[in-house]
Structure 1
């Protein structure tokens, strides 16, 4: 059975968007989840379906049907994970390369989600549904490094809001083809689906705003060790922006050269640093990780 909740809009709440109003009333649900419920026609204002952008008026009667949580189809698995930090709200994982973050239809095993379900039991946020419990953001299968996991819905909402505000510190290190001339480069180019290949992302005029700050760590013959700080978080952002300045990532199977002299399992990209305001203490905390063995092996060969 779906849970039905009713609200009456007060004078000081008039003028809010419908999705904003409902997210303020239902504090344990994200705005994106509420938008999905509205899109599924499970919300009515004065017995009439309205869109998320509808501006509520005083004495509007808002009724929302909250879907019953689905039974989790993903099985907890005792898979070793590198835990950098853990408390009652957040879990910081140092993900190894070649590990998928969350399951997809047809692939429900051996992912990071299977591992954290085993480790955290039922202490994970439910905002992103049955496939991605606790997952606030993701990194690609072949990208290693730090990842935030939310252990309850309040923590999830706090971290998601910080991601939206671009206030979370996210620094990556990678090795790219070619010798980068400038010590620092900021790339501000919108990213969207590649119109010629829907499996790829690309710099496109009607894409979403994307900003990456690049900095040279060390130059080698034909390659450069780089640092990237994300201002936004688009799919494949660093990989696409690096390609846009003609310095694709070493080992990138989608955007890089096919013939390389190193044996790699994917792009040489590591999420090295992450920092954010803690959901409960409201204090800024930051975590740094060592470059993984595969990355250091490449550096030693380049030297």
Structure 2
């Protein structure tokens, strides 16, 4: 089913693609370009170009046709299964693995590996992320819960919405703290100046991150974060917002940082109610070797 948008330009502005990216946060610049080139964007009833400079009073109509579903194939990729029953799988995702297929990552994802492991995965509306009810970033390691049937998907999604599950992360961040713990309550949305980034923005979605300082070293700290909400890049954005970006973060952190393979962020503990029995299940896994070795190196210079 297609979606249609009708916008009236409030003031003279920049290029058409930038205007639409600012107004329609669910669409990427590349997707908008595709729609313009396909003639699905009309300005005052006529086809236009992405470089057109919008003017006050312009009527812009956008028709978004559904994308062709991605063909997702099973791949024999090793999985670290922490727990599995008739309803759920808890998997320890390695750093560097994308959770599900998307533009630029059509295969070699966690979903491809799960499809090889089992044919019992809850269907997803989009078709390309069966079983997936929440995600972690490619370069974030750690625990994910996966639904094996529709009942399990509904239960896990309700728990996420009710904030009744438990998601704790370990992170190495830049800088030291005066406080032992804190909460960041700041809305997150698409960064209006950089579509590849999220940011704390006034009209963003509610986002709450609780953190506790575990250890401090010269220039860095080891913290534990607990998510109350689950926005894209939430911990990365919130910690950068309060002046403590994650070490190794290529999007939100400084260039001078700890050597590694992306941000030092690990989903260490995951807890939820078993969808059929209501039993509380909780699991914890240690961070990858590079994370542990980096912490040990920092401890040699630990702030007393």
Measured against aligned partners, the alpha-carbon deviations of 1:57-92 in whole angstroms (never above 9, x if no partner) come to xxxxxxxxxxxxx98711101100100000110000
4+ long deviations beyond 4 Å = none
Aligned length: 232
Which position in structure 1 is the counterpart of 2:32? none
Which position in structure 1 is the counterpart of 2:61? none
Q: For 1:1-303, list aligned pairs within 5 A.
A: 73-120=71-118, 122-260=119-257, 262-303=258-299
> Do 1:75 and 1:108's aligned partners in 2 also have CA atoms closer than 8 Å?
no
Which position in structure 1 is the counterpart of 2:34? none
Equivalent-residue separation in structure 2 for 1:192 and 1:225 (angstroms)? 26
TM-score by length of 2: 0.74
Equivalent-residue separation in structure 1 for 2:276 and 2:79 (angstroms)? 25
Equivalent-residue separation in structure 2 for 1:300 and 1:106 (angstroms)? 35
Q: CA deviation at 1:218?
A: 0.6
> Do 2:69 and 2:128's aligned partners in 1 also have CA atoms closer than 8 Å?
no
C-alpha RMSD of the superposition: 1.3
Q: Give 5+ residue unaligned stretches, structure 2.
A: 1-67, 300-304
TM-score by length of 1: 0.75
Equivalent-residue separation in structure 2 for 1:82 and 1:165 (angstroms)? 28
Which position in structure 2 is the counterpart of 1:9? none
- From the superposition, tell whether residues 296 and 116 of structure 1 become closer, same or farther in structure 2 (CA, over 3 Å): same
Q: Give 5+ residue unaligned stretches, structure 1.
A: 1-69
Equivalent-residue separation in structure 1 for 2:279 and 2:207 (angstroms)? 27
Q: CA deviation at 1:107?
A: 3.0
> Do 2:141 and 2:287's aligned partners in 1 also have CA atoms closer than 8 Å?
no
Q: CA deviation at 1:294?
A: 1.2
Q: CA deviation at 1:295?
A: 0.6
Equivalent-residue separation in structure 2 for 1:211 and 1:249 (angstroms)? 17
Equivalent-residue separation in structure 2 for 1:297 and 1:209 (angstroms)? 35
Which position in structure 2 is the counterpart of 1:38? none
Q: CA deviation at 1:170?
A: 0.3
- From the superposition, tell whether residues 134 and 128 of structure 1 become closer, same or farther in structure 2 (CA, over 3 Å): farther
Q: CA deviation at 1:292?
A: 1.5
